[in-house]
Amino acid sequence: MDPETLVPALRAAVAALDPNLPVHNLRTMEAQITETLFAERLLMQTTAVFAALATLLAASGLYGVLAYNIARRTREIGIRMAIGASAADVRRMVLSEVAWMLGVGTLAGLAGAHAGARAVASLLYGMEPGDPAIYAAATVMLTLVGLAAAGVPTRRATRVNPVVALRYE
């Protein structure tokens, strides 16, 4: 049965025992927990939105840096392809740059996260600040985001026409 339907009966039972006892703000345990955890849930949702925005900003920044590097190196890539480099060689070259950037960024991010973990330890429920599974999941997710951001510049680099690239600039 719905607990809200018991409210009039509870008020009547308390009034029968002592009519001077006030009975205000009756709610279920579930409603009490929901109200109590509202601020924490709002903080979690706000943090998740800002984390998604930060990830999008990082991906667009990585894309911009890679697109700029590819455009700057169009002539070099054209020369490499003119003397026999395949599209796979160019892709390998670009992805090695991406791997280097992601590696340095990951190491810096892990060091910063480890340093800041103790500061947010009181906000964590059910996990330790240095939980390796969280660090591994974040590393994998950000690596996938970085590789996705590198997709378009890498494809653009493999499609460079050597003749056009040699006339570039």
pLDDT tens per residue across span 99-134 = 998 899 899 989 998 888 878 777 776 677 777 888
For residue 169, name the pLDDT band (cuts at 50, 70, 90): low
Residue with the bigger pLDDT between 120 and 14: it is 14
40-58: pLDDT as tens digits: 899 889 999 999 999 899 8
Average pLDDT taken over every residue of the chain: 86
Report the C-alpha gap between 68 and 18 in whole angstroms.
Answer: 79
* pLDDT at residue 87, as a whole number: 87
Is it the case that residue 72 has pLDDT exceeding 70? yes
Fill in the amino acid letter for 83. I
* pLDDT at residue 108, as a whole number: 94
Q: Is 113 exposed, middle or buried (0-12, 13-18, 19+ CB in 10 A)?
A: middle
Residue with the bigger pLDDT between 124 and 79: it is 79
Q: 50-54, 154-158, 161-165: lowest mean pLDDT where? A: 161-165
Is it the case that residue 146 has pLDDT exceeding 80? yes
Average pLDDT over residues 63-92: 86
DSSP label at residue 122: G
Integer-rounded Cα radius of gyration of the chain? 29
Residue with tokens 């950037």: 101
Q: Give CA 98 to chain center in angstroms.
A: 19
Is it the case that residue 165 has pLDDT exceeding 80? no
* pLDDT at residue 130, as a whole number: 76
